[in-house]
Structure 1
Amino acid sequence: MFTLPSGSKVPEGFNDEYPIVLEGTSVYDFRQLLRAMFCRPDIPGILSCAPPPTTFREWTSVLRLTHRWEMSALHLHARKSIAKLDGVDAVNRLSLALTYDIEDWIHPALADIIRREEPLARRHVDVLGVDMVLKLARAREHVAGYFGSCAKAPPNHHFFRLVSEVFPEYFFESTRQKIIDHAIV
């Protein structure tokens, strides 16, 4: 479709027999993107249709495509919508943060995973990969060794220091206050 004239060939998207093919895009994901774009009760003048995305899975589809196609306004809307959802597991938040470069989700998700009582499991490897789960286990061991339990709210500076030793790539002096503030909660 976006190449030189096709000569005698029927161009992609000309009719239903020659659709525009979006490589690597599922029908489900594209449908969620369209719902997010055109089924928006928050925008005056948009006709009501099917309800906009509401679930984690639906908004993750929107996030995936808006990131790929650099649709910044809708990408931000998807991020905000996911952030408002109740019950989104910290492992899933961390996965999205790392996949789609959502820096402000990384520290809170790391802190939540490290401090929670639930142990890491095989399903976490499926979501985050072996390397990240091993680093999380190491951070949990550091925190538990220092404080006696991961679930105890540790002093802010010690918690930050222990976690930043395991994840130096996510901790810079400018972001120190974010993780310290989150550790208080």
Structure 2
Amino acid sequence: MDNVANSQKYVRDSLYYWDSVTFLVEGVLFKVPRRYFEKNSNIWSDVFTLPLGSNQAEGSSDENPIRLESISSIDFQRLLMVMYPENSLSQCVKMNQDQWVSVLKLSTMWGFDEIRKKAIAELSKINMDTLDKVVLARSYSVGDWLYEGYTALVKREASLSFEEAERLGYEIAFRLCQRREAAFRKAGFNLHRSFQGLGTEICATFRAELIDAGHSGRPPQDFHLGAGFLERL
């Protein structure tokens, strides 16, 4: 009883007394400080509006975790690797494309803006397949990737395959093929063809998709679509 009485006199430090939260994802329990979730995501801030201090509160214990039904445990672990790098190998092991895609997926879903920016920056350093870049851009609203990817698909020598058209969706694939035919007709079929004005045409053709993905809908002023464009993607 004395210990209980004494503990009631203590004051919790405002900066360094952290509550933890327990998640259950695909049968795997994760217990982490809830501070980052609460401070950096409006979605999770709303979730934690209700107190988690009692044994009955969801997320307060292994017996009563917050159950995340719609995501994979590996995706969640990869997000935590970036969120809490001091507890992972991410500081000394370079994360690959699949790992950063997991981070991009969940940071976009939950509104972790800084982590999302980091994931986009790291993935931008990777020489991703153009079609993968377009699919990711459309899934997770990365406007610059969508602009770059559509432009590269229009400029490349090979036309879209049936499998690529399926991945893109037939309407987008059809419009890309139309734009490619018009661009090649205008540029000429030679090794040193010029695609002057293609950026503007791409933005006009796919304006709605680009804006939905967070792009301005206008070609960057310093973006030159010269002969070396494909090598820069």
Cα 1:124/1:52, change in 2 over 3 Å: farther
Structure 1: distance between partners of 2:162 and 2:93: 33
* AA partner of residue 73 (structure 2): V
Cα 1:101/1:128, change in 2 over 3 Å: same
Quote how far apart the aligned CAs of 1:77 are. 0.5
Residue from 89, 97, 116 that aligns with 1:75? 116
Aligned partner of residue 18 in structure 1, secondary structure: coil
**In the TM superposition, what are the counterparts of 1:73-152 in structure 2 within 5 Å?**
73-86=114-127, 88-149=128-189
Residue from 161, 166, 171 that aligns with 2:205? 166
1:38 corresponds to 2:77: no
Residue from 55, 68, 75 that aligns with 2:96? 55
Quote how far apart the aligned CAs of 1:12 are. 2.8
Structure 1: distance between partners of 2:68 and 2:75: 11
| Higher helix residue share | 1
Cα 1:69/1:4, change in 2 over 3 Å: closer
Where structure 1 has 5 or more consecutive residues not aligned to the other structure, the ranges are: 40-45
1:175 corresponds to 2:214: no
Aligned residues: 174
Percent of aligned positions that are identical: 25
Cα 1:127/1:174, change in 2 over 3 Å: closer
Query: Where does residue 42 of structure 1 map in the other structure?
Result: none
Quote how far apart the aligned CAs of 1:60 are. 0.8
Q: Is the 8 A contact 2:203 2:217 kept in 1?
A: no
* AA partner of residue 167 (structure 1): F
Residue from 28, 53, 64 that aligns with 2:105? 64
Q: Is the 8 A contact 2:134 2:145 kept in 1?
A: yes
* AA partner of residue 74 (structure 1): I
* AA partner of residue 123 (structure 2): I
Cα 1:117/1:3, change in 2 over 3 Å: same
Structure 2: distance between partners of 1:166 and 1:13: 47
1:7-40 Cα distance to aligned partner (Å, 9 max, x none): xx9443343343311232111210111122223x
Structure 2: distance between partners of 1:20 and 1:91: 36
Larger Rg: 2
Structure 1: distance between partners of 2:133 and 2:189: 23
| Larger deviation, residues 162-171 vs 116-125 | 162-171
Kindly report the root-mean-square deviation, in angstroms, between the aligned alpha carbons of the 2 structures: 3.3
- Normalising by structure 1, we get a TM-score of 0.75
- Normalising by structure 2, we get a TM-score of 0.61
Quote how far apart the aligned CAs of 1:161 are. 4.7
